[in-house]
């Protein structure tokens, strides 16, 4: 028997949670042809995996790499972690489906998160967008239909209720997007124009998603909470599931500094809804703080009309006073304590790494004014991340919570990576090895269980047929690592550092990482 690629001598952990066993994996073309004792077989290329673990490639269910993948398809920060499939467009922060004009406008508005991808791409449909990634990236790319773009196409960047003909138009675009392979709908109700919606609008849209049996991936509402009868939060997500019949996927759902150790309070409403029949899955990343862009701190009215209007308002002295006053009232979380992670080419290049609190002091204006000034100077191309808690006790408790959550069969891992900027959140480089290496070993969880959460679990939830499990006939997406030594090396202080202990990664039968080096092979496909 002859294979194109033979992975010999490793311990195969197949992704189902079953115990690992010593076996060879024979690959022909894109697919796994045989798993077993293949010592008599020949192969064009043999990878000696003696002493290593061979698992399905990891699936990242929350990656803000929409723009980064279009700039550099090699995508070393993701593929070096063993991630062979990324689901982009979480929170509905994405660039399709958008007309050419709306694409340029939303690209500008989202540059703090998605960076600056080419200006002239055809992103007019999910089909067109998929073609921009297919065989142009090292990893497979799945995408949600984004609530943001769909709302822009139906109603513009305007604070208007989506009803009547506009709602019909949105439903048609969503229907077409799902037909063209979107793996669900994603919304982020701290972001715009998504937060202009009401619960009723989301229920109407999700009825379309439910027809396709796909999930709604949701970042819970903390903007315009008056537009949800529940006041936003997890209760709104549950209500959407209950009323529309859609499967709910809760984005980055974990404890945080202040609620560390209290899993009961976040899980009680979820488990109660599940017992009533609402279908809920969840994801988390293994860090105590997050990352975003400063738009998240501005009141709702400041965004109305889009990025041009937003910049005009920030630059108007009278409106500026109103904006900063509203930012100071506790609205959506305070900007204090965050660190600039990316400043675009037009902004002050000395800012990345600096605390928000310190730029105010340096320039002699309030922290809120300083944030507005940076937004204007960088033409909106700026992003931030949190700083981890000073108490290592709190930090470790959150990590322990994350691993307890991942012991639940309804949990998976979404890195929430934002691979843009001078000092990104370390999750963009270290999320998966941190879970399968450092934290799994520290808290003593079984490897097979942890691997199931990042392979079979997401593949089934998001409809990735033929992926997520090692078996004959499935696509050969494979991570090969040293289970005793695999580790993240990306830190808050030095984030853009690759992990160790993952020498080989295979995507659709092609070697994408070879002896810890990216090969430059762009064999990733638009999936599912
Ligand atoms: Zn996110």
What is the CA(1)–ligand 1 centre distance, in A? Answer: 46
> Which string of b and e fits 99-116 if b means at least 16 CB within 10 Å?
eeebbebbbbbbbbbbbb
Give the alpha-carbon dihedral of 39, 42, 46, 49, to 10 degrees.
Answer: -10
Question: From 3.90.1150.10, 3.90.700.10, 3.20.20.140, 3.40.50.300, which CATH number describes the 57-289+392-462 domain?
Answer: 3.20.20.140
- In this prediction the pTM is 0.97
Cα–ligand 1 centroid distance for 295 (angstroms): 14
d(CA 152, CA 172): 14
- Mark residue 108 as left, alpha or beta (left: phi above 0; alpha: psi -120 to 50; beta: remaining): alpha
Distance CA 214, CA 207 (A): 10
In the reported structure, the alpha carbon of residue 252 is separated from the centroid of ligand 1 by a whole-number distance in angstroms of 8
CB atoms within 10 A of CB 393: 10
What is the Å distance from ligand 1's center to 424 Cα? 14
* Sign of CA pseudo-dihedral 81, 85, 91, 95: positive
Cα 131 to middle of ligand 1, angstroms: 23
pLDDT of residue 361: 79
Cα 412 to averaged position of ligand 1 atoms, centre (Å) = 14
Report how far ligand 1's centroid is from the alpha carbon of 343 (Å): 19
CA of 104 to the centre of ligand 1 (A): 21
CA of 366 to the centre of ligand 1 (A): 28
Give 290 Cα–ligand 1 centroid separation in angstroms. Answer: 9
**How many A from CA of 161 to the centre of ligand 1?**
24
Cα gap 438→419, rounded to integer Å: 22
From the CA of 186, how far away is ligand 1's center (Å)? 10
Contacts of 484 (CB under 8 A, 6+ apart): 441
* Strand extents, DSSP E, 376-451: 382-386, 411-413
Gap from CA of 92 to ligand 1 centroid (Å): 9
Ligand 1 center to 11 CA (angstroms): 34
Q: How far is the CA of 222 from the centre of ligand 1 (A)?
A: 14
Sequence ranges of the domains in the chain: 57-289+392-462, 292-386
Of 15, 86, 55, nearest to 453 by C-alpha is 15
| Ligand 1 centre distance from Cα of residue 220 (Å) | 11
Distance (angstroms) between ligand 1 centre and the Cα of 18 equals 31
Distance of CA 223 to the CA centre of its chain: 20
CA of 91 to the centre of ligand 1 (A): 6
Query: What is the structure's pLDDT at 342?
Result: 96
Ligand 1 centre from 64 Cα, in Å?
A: 7
Give 194 Cα–ligand 1 centroid separation in angstroms: 14
Query: How far, in Å, from the CA of 385 to the mean position of ligand 1?
Result: 12
* Ligand 1 center to 52 CA (angstroms): 32
Beta bridge partners of 475: 31
Ligand 1 centre to CA of 89 (Å) is 8
Q: What is the pLDDT of residues 403-423, one digit of tens each?
A: 999 999 999 999 999 999 999
**C-alpha of residue 219 to centroid of ligand 1, in Å:** 7
Ligand 1 centroid to residue 328 C-alpha, Å: 24
CA–centroid distance, 340 to ligand 1, in Å, is: 17
Q: How far is the CA of 466 from the centre of ligand 1 (A)?
A: 26
Are 470 and 36 a contacting pair, CB within 8 Å? no
- 241 and 273 Cβ atoms separated by less than 8 Å: yes
d(CA 429, CA 432): 8
* Ligand 1 centroid, distance to 81 Cα (angstroms): 19
Cα 13 to ligand 1 centroid, rounded to whole Å: 29
State in Å: Cα 487 to ligand 1 middle.
23
Determine the pLDDT at residue 63. 98
**pLDDT, position 247:** 98
Quote the ligand 1 centre to 284 CA distance (angstroms).
11
- What is the residue-level pLDDT of the chain in tens, covering all 528 positions? 999 999 999 999 999 999 999 999 999 999 999 999 999 999 999 999 999 999 999 999 999 999 999 999 999 999 999 999 999 999 999 999 999 999 999 999 999 999 999 999 999 999 999 999 999 999 999 999 999 999 999 999 999 999 999 999 999 999 999 999 999 999 999 999 999 999 999 999 999 999 999 999 999 999 999 999 999 999 999 999 999 999 999 999 999 999 999 999 999 999 999 999 999 999 999 999 999 999 999 999 999 999 999 999 999 999 999 999 999 886 666 788 899 999 999 999 999 999 998 887 788 899 999 999 999 999 999 999 999 999 999 999 999 999 999 999 999 999 999 999 999 999 999 999 999 999 999 999 999 999 999 999 999 999 999 999 999 999 999 999 999 999 999 999 999 999 999 999 999 999 999 999 999 999 999 999
What does each C-alpha distance from 11 to 19, 155, 481 come to in angstroms? 10, 53, 10
Centre of ligand 1 to C-alpha 175, Å, is 24
Q: How far is the CA of 251 from the centre of ligand 1 (A)?
A: 7
For residue 273, report the distance from its CA to the centre of ligand 1, in Å.
24
Among residues 68, 51, 157, the alpha carbon closest in space to that of 105 is found at 157
pLDDT of residue 230: 93
Q: How much distance in Å is there from the Cα of 113 to the middle of ligand 1?
A: 9
Tokens of 24: 């060879």
């Amino acid at each position: 028997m002859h294979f194109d690629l033979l992975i010999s001598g490793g311990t195969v952990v197949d992704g189902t949670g079953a115990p690992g066993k010593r076996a060879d994996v024979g690959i022909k073309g894109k697919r796994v042809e045989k798993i077993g004792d293949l010592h008599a077989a020949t192969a064009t290329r043999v990878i000696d995996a003696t002493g290593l673990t061979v698992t399905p490639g990891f699936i990242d269910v929350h990656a803000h790499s929409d723009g980064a993948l279009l700039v550099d398809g090699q995508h070393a920060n993701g593929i070096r972690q063993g991630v062979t499939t990324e689901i982009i467009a979480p929170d509905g922060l994405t660039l399709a489906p958008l007309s050419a004009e709306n694409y340029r406008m939303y690209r500008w508005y989202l540059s703090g998160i998605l960076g600056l991808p080419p200006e002239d791409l055809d992103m007019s449909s999910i089909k067109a967008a998929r073609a921009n990634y297919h065989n142009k990236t090292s990893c497979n790319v799945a995408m949600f239909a984004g609530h943001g773009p769909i709302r822009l196409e139906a109603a513009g960047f305007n604070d208007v209720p989506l009803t009547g003909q506009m709602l019909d138009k949105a439903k048609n675009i969503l229907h077409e997007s799902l037909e063209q392979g979107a793996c669900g709908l994603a919304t982020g109700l701290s972001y715009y124009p998504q937060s202009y919606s009401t619960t009723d609008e989301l229920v109407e849209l999700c009825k379309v998603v439910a027809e396709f049996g796909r999930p709604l991936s949701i970042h819970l509402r903390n903007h315009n909470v008056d537009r949800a009868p529940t006041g936003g939060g997890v209760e709104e997500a549950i209500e959407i599931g209950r009323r529309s019949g859609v499967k709910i996927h809760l984005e980055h759902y974990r404890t945080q500094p202040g609620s560390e150790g209290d899993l009961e309070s976040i899980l009680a409403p979820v488990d109660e809804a599940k017992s009533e029949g609402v279908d809920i899955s969840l994801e988390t990343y293994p860090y105590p703080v997050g990352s975003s862009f400063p738009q998240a701190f501005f009141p709702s009215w400041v965004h109305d009309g889009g990025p041009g209007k937003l910049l005009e308002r920030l630059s108007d002295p009278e409106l500026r006073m109103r904006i900063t006053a509203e930012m100071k009232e506790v609205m959506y979380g305070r900007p204090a304590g965050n660190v600039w992670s990316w400043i675009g080419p037009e902004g002050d290049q000395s800012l990345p790494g600096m605390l928000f609190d310190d730029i105010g002091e340096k320039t002699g204006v309030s922290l809120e004014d300083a944030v507005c000034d940076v937004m204007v100077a960088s033409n909106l191309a700026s992003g931030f991340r949190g700083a981890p808690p000073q108490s290592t006790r709190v930090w470790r408790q959150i990590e322990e919570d994350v691993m307890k959550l991942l012991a639940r069969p309804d949990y998976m891992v979404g890195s929430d990576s934002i691979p843009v900027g001078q000092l990104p959140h370390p999750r963009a480089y270290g999320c998966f090895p941190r879970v399968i290496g450092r934290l799994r070993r520290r808290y003593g969880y079984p490897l097979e269980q942890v691997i199931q959460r990042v392979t079979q679990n997401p593949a089934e939830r998001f409809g990735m047929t033929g992926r997520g499990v090692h078996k004959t006939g499935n696509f050969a997406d494979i991570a090969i690592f040293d289970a005793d030594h695999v580790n993240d090396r990306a830190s808050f202080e030095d984030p853009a550092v690759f992990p160790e202990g993952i020498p080989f990664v295979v995507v659709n039968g092609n070697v994408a990482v070879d002896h810890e080096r990216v090969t430059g092979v762009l064999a990733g496909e638009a999936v599912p």
